[in-house]
Amino acid sequence: MTDDTSTSTPPRRQAWYAPLTASVRALGTAAQEYQLALHNAELAAAQVSPDLRAPHPGSAGHLRVGQPGEVVQPFAPHETAVGELAAFYQHQVDTLRAHHQAAALLFATGCAWAANAAHGGSRPQHVVFTSTPEGQCVPGPLEINGLTNWPRLGELEHARYELAAVMEHQQLAHRINDQIPYTEAVAEQQHQAQQLVDARLGTAAYRYGQLAEEGLHFILAGPTPEAPTHHALATVMYVEEAAAHVPS
């Protein structure tokens, strides 16, 4: 016969910061998804690059409708297909790179926001961004307080410097593109250079986010100016739970 009065281990209360760290991890995972999709799109674009594909010499033709007589307009089917596919995949690459940049910057600045909030003693349940009138999240500041004693502070500062430099370089490149007219050949070179800067931005932002996320956990493990240590809080919560289940 089962003893209904048997005791079981009481469930531990979830730490207050669990939703916050989950929010940060969700931002990082989103950036990873875009990074993977971008990598796959770049591989697909490389496979159909006109520079690497020798066009088939065969041609076909079509009648020019509305022209006097039967005017046959020749075209190269394979060369046309390669060109259209290259343009299609390059559009996918450009789109996904922009999404990856945006997601990586939200991850980086979201980690900074969460770390500063925890260091200040507040207990947000998730990362909060400002947004545009269209509802798009706007990345916030990168600086993080409360990491003076963190052993990896030097790495974090170096990553922040690199990210800030790439962001400044990208903004400068965009201003130049908007102001100076280019020939088609120079415009293509400029586009390729812009792609390199954009690729560096996504990588630098994600790297900073990784380090900032570690910094957040360092802050959560230690004291904050307005609150006792989170370890002490967890101990108090456990003692309260245990006392609540002591038979009277």
Q: Where are the domains of the chain?
A: 18-54+77-244
Q: For residues 139 and 164, what is the distance between their CA atoms, to the nearest angstrom?
A: 13
Residue 224 sits at φ, ψ, to 5 deg, of: -120, 160
pLDDT value at position 241?
43
What is the crossing angle of helices 18-47 and 77-119, to 10°?
A: 160
Measure the CA–CA gap between 206 and 112, rounded to whole angstroms: 12
Q: What pLDDT is stored for residue 189 in this prediction?
A: 61
Distance CA 141, CA 212 (A): 12
Nearest-CA neighbor of 129 among 102, 149, 154, 151? Answer: 102
For each of the chain's 248 residues, which pLDDT tens digit applies?
555 555 566 667 788 999 999 999 999 999 999 999 999 999 999 988 888 777 788 878 777 766 666 667 778 888 888 889 999 999 999 999 999 999 999 999 999 999 999 999 999 999 999 999 999 999 999 999 999 999 999 999 999 999 999 988 877 766 666 666 666 655 666 666 666 777 789 999 999 999 999 999 999 998 655 444 444 444 444 344 444 444 44
Q: Bridge-partner residues for 106, per DSSP?
A: none
**Number of CB atoms found within 10 A of residue 216's CB:** 27
